[in-house]
Amino acid sequence: MHVTVPTDHDIYLFHEGSLFQSYRMLGAHLESVGKETGVRFSVWAPQAKQVAVAGNFNNWDASGHLMNKIDNSDIWTLFIPNVKEGELYKYEITTLHGQTILKSDPYAFYSEVRPKTASIVYNLWNYEWADQKWRNKKKRSNVYAEPMLIYEVHLGTWKTREDGKLYTYRELADELIDYVIEMGYTHIELMPLMEHPFDRSWGYQITGYFSVTSRFGTPGDLMHFIDRCHQKGIGVIMDWVPAHFCKDAHGLGKFDGTPVFEPTDPFKAERINWGTYNFDYSKPEVVSFLISNAMFWFDVFHIDGLRVDAVSQMIFHHHDNHSHTGHSEYENKDAVLFIKKMNKAIFETFPDALMIAEESTDYPLVSAPVHDGGLGFNFKWNMGWMNDMLRYMELPTENRKHHHNLLTFSFFYAFSENYILPFSHDEVVHGKKSLLNKMPGDYWQKFANLRLLYGYFMSHPGKKLLFMGGEFGQFDEWKDLTELDWLLLDFEMHKTMHKYVQALNTFYKDTRSLWRLDHDPAGFEWIDPHNHNQSVITFMRKGKRKGDYEIIVCNFSTEVYYDYRIGVPSYGKYIELFNSDRKDFGGSGQLNEGDLHAMPREYHNMPYSLMIKIPPLAVSVISKKTKSTVERRAKYA
């Protein structure tokens, strides 16, 4: 049963900051009172002098639908009979100064398509889900010890119709999901899908936190999309933005004529760099609102995870205005308490949830449980690794030997958090250039460098995320008004890059050592991190079973190295499992095609060694020769 009438207990919890399903109480809910059916409207407006409901059902004349303020509460409520699903409405609020303002419902489940701004009555509770098999599988899974390949997508520009119009959630369910499966990804990460007025904010400046954006269809259509993902074995992560909200007149800003969701102090309220308002985490009702919103997407839409945007901006005052990496004097203690409370609540209700922090400082224990002193997320984006790697890869190849530490520094902290390695939309916009166009050298070298970067990305400890377009080497940076440059797949090098990423994704999922101990130092061992003169690094990724390991050799120079000796841990025959320099990947074809024989000669602090050929700007993966590895090599040959 879905509670809609605000009860004394619910109101108490809401004002305490502990009502974690406040969307069942506030907002517009279809219900029956006696023999009458209609809608109960409830809204939090603490400083309002009067609140009424205006809609198309009363010709936008709210005078006959004044709301009642519940005793000892700041919540206003009204049941209006004969209002049906699909009706448009807003709250007409009279401020303390007598001004009348019209506001969209903060708890609206659906809204008009921008630029219109009215809320829409919608019944969320009648969708019949068919994803129980997926949900049962998640309960049996250990996400830390499984492969995770995330494809980050902006639905408005992944693909569009020929006339430029947007695909719907249902159309994307027919096309995007199959593409993601074909490419070998395990999860889709959707950029914010809460209602937002401006396309070019990409969903990060929100007016309707509980309202699925109507650009692509109805809430039921999005449920269908997520349901189809689950039925086909794909997890769904959604970007979530609890740091700030936009100032548009119909939104949350100065909701009742006074600061409600934002701090009263204008200096604390303003997020000047973004032109938005900050949330006030010291207000219990704001905490109830935000935790309920996080809960809402798991509960009602069955999403598998939230990527929580701008955590650094939440936990540090004036983060954008300082170059600090994380100093206690800047810490927003209310935000930290909110984050811990949120994560604790989410994992108590949804223990298999993914709560992923986009956090860019050295704040400790971001992905540690709250009971161990952490913030309570279970994953964190590794922004340091991403920044170091892109800085390194953009260097002319002849200069890389002077910056070798950028390749190796991440291993000093690689296991301090449960990391996801992100190559996200943020790295390919605002003049930063696409990943391919960041690469130095001539045309061939750009593609070789990108294949190498992806190979190192896949073999480095941590789960993986790649923004759409990166899989085929989008040459231009992301254009947020038009679809990806799919026509590039008609060109050979982009077609082979596409094939390479597909093969690399499949190889990663098939290779247990690349993910089984992702967050455990036992899953990684250096063979040689020191060869800066030749810009070569060699290391092992190890699984849980003895003998389950692969040797990764990355050559960041343009030279081919013949008869290159590397240390190995055991005697016997080895084979090259994977090589990014294959000709059908666009490479030069410098492969190790036969058996590689280890000899009892110590090298690189290993008891044995073998001689290999190292291709230019490429990654090679070497493994012990067994029936299984021979079969696996044939799969990628």
Query: Considering only CA atoms, which of 77, 281, 191, 103 is closest in space to residue 480?
Result: 191
Mean pLDDT for 378-392 is 97
Residue of 358, 359, 471, 518 marked catalytic: 358
SS (H, E, C) 363-391: CCCCCCCHHHCCCCCCEEECHHHHHHHHH
Query: Considering only CA atoms, which of 346, 312, 452 is closest in space to residue 392?
Result: 452
Residue of 309, 334, 388, 427 marked catalytic: 309
Structure tokens at 503: 């093969």
CB 605 within 8 A of CB 539: no
Q: What is the pLDDT of residues 148-184, one digit of tens each?
A: 999 999 999 999 988 888 999 999 999 999 999 999 9
- With cut-offs at 50, 70 and 90, classify the pLDDT of residue 636: confident
Whole-number Å distance between alpha carbons of 196 and 209: 9
pLDDT at 632: 86
pLDDT at 324: 43
pLDDT at 328: 58
Give the SS3 label for residue 244.
strand
Question: According to CATH, what is the number of the domain 8-120?
Answer: 2.60.40.10
Least confident of 298-302, 323-327, 344-348: 323-327
Which residues are CB-neighbours of 385 under 8 A, at least 6 positions away? 410, 414, 419, 421, 460, 462
Reply yes or no on whether the pLDDT at 569 is more than 80: yes
358 belongs to the catalytic site: yes
Whole-number Å distance between alpha carbons of 421 and 462: 6
Reply yes or no on whether the pLDDT at 238 is more than 90: yes
Which residues are CB-neighbours of 622 under 8 A, at least 6 positions away? 550, 551, 552, 553, 566, 568, 574, 575, 576, 577, 592, 596, 610, 612
With a pLDDT cut of 90, the percent of the chain lying above it is: 90
Domain ranges of the chain: 8-120, 521-636
Whole-number Å distance between alpha carbons of 162 and 636: 35
Phi/psi region, residue 272 (left: phi>0; alpha: psi -120 to 50; beta: rest), is: alpha
Residue range 521-636 in CATH 1.10.3720.10: no
Q: What is the pLDDT of residues 28-76, one digit of tens each?
A: 999 999 899 999 999 999 999 999 999 999 999 999 999 999 988 999 9
Within 10 Å of residue 225's Cβ, how many Cβ atoms? 26
Element (H, E) at 493: helix 492-510
Average model confidence (pLDDT) across the chain: 95
pLDDT at 327: 52
Reply yes or no on whether the pLDDT at 395 is more than 50: yes
Only one residue has tokens 């009860």, namely 7
Q: Do domains 8-120 and 521-636 have the same CATH topology?
A: yes
- With cut-offs at 50, 70 and 90, classify the pLDDT of residue 468: very high
pLDDT at 1: 46
- With cut-offs at 50, 70 and 90, classify the pLDDT of residue 633: confident
Whole-number Å distance between alpha carbons of 90 and 92: 6
Residue 101 pairs in a beta bridge with 93
Q: What is the pLDDT of residues 3-17, one digit of tens each?
A: 677 899 999 999 999
471 belongs to the catalytic site: no
Q: What is the pLDDT of residues 107-140, one digit of tens each?
A: 999 999 999 999 999 999 999 999 999 999 999 9
Burial class (CB in 10 A: 0-12, 13-18, 19+), 35: exposed
Whole-number Å distance between alpha carbons of 344 and 324: 28
Give the SS3 label for residue 627.
helix
pLDDT at 273: 87
